[in-house]
Amino acid sequence: MALNNATIQYHRYMARLPEELRSILCRWLTLGIVDDEGGLVKSAYVTLDGSVLVIGDEIVGRLEESGVGLRLGDGLYLQEFFNWTPWVRELCGEVVTEEAEPMGMRLLGFSPFTYAEYGDVMSGYVELIKVYGKYVSGVFNEAIFRLWGLSGVRFDEQVDLVIVTGDELIAHHFLDIRRTEHRGFTTSARYLQYGFDRSILMHPFISDDVNKEVAKAMLNRGDVKPVGYFTINYDESEILGIIIYKWPHINPLPLASRTVAERNILIKEYLRHR
């Protein structure tokens, strides 16, 4: 991931922020969320490349005065916000997860998208990504469905979807929690063990309360803490909304496990031989 001018600028401004404001942004970046900060944040929107629009008079005003972000109407736009994480980590200390209340961040500029002509909802989701062009960490390149192995690495279960963006392979597990008692945590965590650069768990949008509780549970469970949590609101023919509760972090396991590091190298061979 390139260290671009925007990231350098935000690093500089975050270093100068008052401690209270810096701790808020550090918590959001470290946990991959936006929370309401005791009512300071009224709502939040996100783009598929990790930019965030925060709505809330007081916090918007204070961040704008500190030179962070761009004022857009009642909100503050933080360009590629969730991609700042690796570059500002040195400014952030330990973050408490128990009290975090992840907000559902709606996809900025979204309008209902007909997926029926493409097949199932995940095929429609991929078409939606193509429209946006960028996804999580870079430009969308390719989607691969229903994998049991890649570049010599065999998987113990099906990987539902892999999105190739730039130099990353992002694994997705879609589970309809209306039809099962499981939440998909174990499978999403195993995707990281297989060596994928990021893992995203996707559920249907049930309600803000239900999906928020899933996100909170993920924050307090170590093996899925790096996993993203995206929800899709859809009916029999249209995707009605995308609500993101937790942004995916870069897989930390290759730095901690030689086996995972070797798997990551092997699956990256796919990028070199596409």
Quote the strand ranges of 37-137, DSSP E.
Answer: 43-46, 52-55, 70-72, 75-78, 105-107, 113-114, 134-135
The pLDDT value given to residue 1: 46
Q: Indicate the pTM of the whole model.
A: 0.93
Q: Which residue has the higher pLDDT, 98 or 54?
A: 54
Structural domain total, the chain: 2
pLDDT in tens, 62-99: 888 888 889 998 899 998 899 887 777 777 877 777 77
Instruction: Note whether 146 and 196 are same-domain residues.
Output: yes
Last-in-domain residue among 106, 133, 154: 106
Q: What is the mean pLDDT of residues 212-227?
A: 96
Instruction: Note whether 123 and 188 are same-domain residues.
Output: yes
35: DSSP letter: B
The pLDDT value given to residue 178: 93
**What confidence tier does 198 reach under pLDDT thresholds 50, 70, 90?**
very high
Instruction: Note whether 130 and 152 are same-domain residues.
Output: yes
Last-in-domain residue among 74, 106, 138: 106
The pLDDT value given to residue 73: 87
Instruction: Note whether 85 and 192 are same-domain residues.
Output: no
pLDDT above 70 covers a percentage of the chain that reads: 96
pLDDT in tens, 89-143: 777 877 777 778 899 999 999 999 999 889 899 999 999 999 999 999 899 999 9
Instruction: Note whether 90 and 154 are same-domain residues.
Output: no
Instruction: Note whether 137 and 16 are same-domain residues.
Output: no
pLDDT above 90 covers a percentage of the chain that reads: 68
Instruction: Note whether 143 and 97 are same-domain residues.
Output: no
Instruction: Note whether 101 and 165 are same-domain residues.
Output: no
Mean pLDDT of the chain: 91
Pair 87, 11: CB distance under 8 Å: yes
Instruction: Note whether 82 and 102 are same-domain residues.
Output: yes
With 70 as the cut, is the pLDDT of residue 5 above it? no
Q: Which domain holds residue 98?
A: 5-106
